[in-house]
Structure 1
Amino acid sequence: IATLRAYAEKGVSTRTDIAAEVDAAANAMVAAATPVDQNAGFLQNLMSSAESLVKVRPIGAVEGKGAPETVARMEVAVNQGDYAKALSEYDTLPEAVKSAGADFAGKLKARLEVEKLIDSLIAGAMKA
C-alpha cells in the first residue's frame, strides 16, 4: 500500500488518457528517428519542411526492426491494452527515439505498476 500512496499523491494516467496520447507520442518518436540535417542546403530544407506537414508512418503490427516499425507495434500494443508488450518494444528503440517518448513511456510504466500492485492486493485479500 505504501507504494500506491506515492502514486496517489500525483496520480496516474487512465487507460483512456493513455490511448488518447499514443498517436502524438508515436509521431514524436518517429520524427526523432529521422533528425534534420543542420548542414542541408536550401532544397533539402524546403523538402524537410514540406515533409513535416504530412506525417507518414507505418501503422498496425508491421514487421521490421526500424524505429517506425517498432513504434507502430508499440502503438498497437497500447491500443490493445498490453502495456508490458508496448514497453518491451519501447526498450528496443534507439536512445534519441526513446527520449522523444520518455514521458509517454513513464505513464505506461506507472499505470502498469499500479495495476499490478492493485491485482496483488486484491489477490491477497481474497486469500484472507
Structure 2
Amino acid sequence: MKKITLVFAFAVSALVFHCQSGAKAGAEEGKTILEGNWVLTSNCVTNPSPNPTAWLIISNNRDIKSCYKKTSSVVKGQITGKDGNYHINWEVGPASTAQYPVGGPLNLFGMTTIENGQSYTVCYTRTKTVPAFCK
C-alpha cells in the first residue's frame, strides 16, 4: 500500500510540475520574438532572397540597430507595439512602422518609412551573421 501511495504521489507531483511548465511555455509561445539578426531581402513577395546591403539587429524585442553597407553607417532606435504591428523611433531620420510576420510562410519583417511624402517598404529575413561594423 505504501508503494502505491508513493507512486501515486510521484505521478501527481509530476503532473503538477508538467502543467506549470506548460503554462509558462504557452505564455512565451504567444509572445512574438523579434530578437536577432535580420538581412534585407530583394523584395517582400516573390523570391525574397537575402540582399546583403542592409541589416537589422533587434535586442530585447525593443532596441534596434539599422546598418547600411554603402556608408558603413549604424542608426539606433526603439521599437514599440505588439501583436505584429510596431512603431520604430529612430535616433536619426523619420520614424518607421513595421509588421511581423509578413510574406506568409516566409516570416519576413516588413518595415515602411515615409520620407518626403514617399513611402518606402522593405523586408528583412533572419540571418545568423552581420558585418563587423554593425555589431
TM-score, normalised relative to structure 2: 0.22
Greater fraction of residues in helix: 1
Q: Which has the higher contact order (CA 8 A, sep 6+)?
A: 1
| TM-score, normalising length: structure 1 | 0.22
